[in-house]
Structure 1
């Protein structure tokens, strides 16, 4: 799967053009709006892989790309609120503890324990979100419903599937490789210019890995408690 995922972004006559556009959009991500188009392209890529299409899609129908990207951004933002709320609660708890206890050693220890517990909780939950979020995007793409991205039954069949876990690990491995490449490129001045293109390529490859992993899984209807068939092992 890893080799197929790595080569997938190149399996098109318009591959160079697509990667150039995607990288340029990420380069302009500080403008925010270009990010929606990149996310929309990732959604289109996932939909293409789920449909069994051999070649990656192209950048066109920009309105649809933007809308899909905006929806996926909203899904990701909603998931990111969980660790953010925990971190914010820890800040308030630390401030309240300091306010009530003064600057004594006992107060410092209490604040330290709060910060440590919050850090561990945020780390664990952030990892869980990173694992579940692609499954949420898959659920949205397969049903065209944002609600499906938060449906426990829909998410459960992916999160507890070995095939999804394998696809996720492959995508994670690709992102690590991309990080190393970007680190090497950053050693030279031109590296900062090439990093967005490497990032885009890695995201498309990772999307292929996850898409192929879940392609044969059943889509749950609203109200279903369990999938009609067991996920492939």
Structure 2
């Protein structure tokens, strides 16, 4: 067991690792050698994400975070090899865009179709149907948000866009308690980070950049947690050639 970078079982709740994982995720970037430089660069890129190339670089960095943490390497990456990072980030963006379009298309078809069907005065029954379809769309959106981080982790492991949509490979991960728990922790980090970022954003002049830095920091911390879920479910042998997994996939 000493030759495996592996931690058995869910990191949270079951063995009291939840609080430790949260602490580790928050200190992950802070404890790196270029913490401030990386956080500032990431924040600026996130702020100018509407230009797309900076956004690709942010997601390229996240792919590297996933790749490292999934292999048991807790040293945060730096922004370098810009061309490769941009390409990887663009591929990751395509995967995220595809999953984000699922609830949008579903909602347009179901809710939009329901509104057209009941007309301008839907009545109580029509309103109830539309509300039910809206709730169903929300469930689909949560489902897409649940799958997307695992899809990115799968992509980071294989570097193929198609890997992000391989549901046969993703299904055991998505059904595991380890991933579900870590996903909830990651979601909490993103929500808190977004809240703090919003507060900082209201500060004149420097608020926007401070908020973007916090948002980037929270994004990295969240995907650190996802990366460790991948490590738990796909143990990597230190001696394994090309980083191949030597452990079995979870039996669910």
TM-score under structure 2 length normalisation: 0.79
Counterpart-to-counterpart distance in 1, 2:72 and 2:222? 16
CA RMSD of aligned residues (A): 2.3
> 1:43-58, aligned counterparts within 5 Å?
43-58=63-78
Check conservation: 1:94, 1:114, Cα contact below 8 A. no
* 1:189-217 CA distance string (max 9 Å, x none): 23233111000001111111111122142
Instruction: Give the unaligned 5+ runs of structure 2.
Output: 1-20, 236-245
CA contact (8 A) 2:146 2:183 kept: yes
Alignment of 1:1-233 (within 5 A): 1-89=21-109, 90-98=111-119, 107-109=122-124, 111-189=126-204, 190-218=206-234, 229-231=248-250
Deviation, 1:230, is 5.0
Instruction: Quote the Cα distance in structure 2 between the aligned partners of 1:88 and 1:31.
Output: 27
- Where in structure 1 are there 5+ consecutive unaligned residues? 220-226
CA contact (8 A) 1:25 1:38 kept: yes
SS of alignment partner, residue 233 of structure 2: coil
Deviates more, 1:46-55 or 1:112-121: 112-121
Deviations, residues 54-91 of structure 1 (Å, cap 9, x unaligned):
21111111111111111111111111222111221122
Q: What's the secondary structure of 1:215's corresponding residue?
A: helix
Contact 1:37 1:65 in 2 (8 A): yes
Deviates more, 1:57-66 or 1:44-53: 44-53
- Residue-pair matches, total: 220
Match of 2:18?
Answer: none
SS of 1:60's partner is coil
1:137 deviation in Å? 0.8
For residues 228 and 21 of structure 1, the distance between their equivalents in structure 2, rounded to whole angstroms, comes to 37
Secondary structure of the structure 1 residue equivalent to 2:78: coil
Q: Which runs of 4+ in 1 moved over 6 A?
A: none
Partner residue in 2 for 1:222 = none
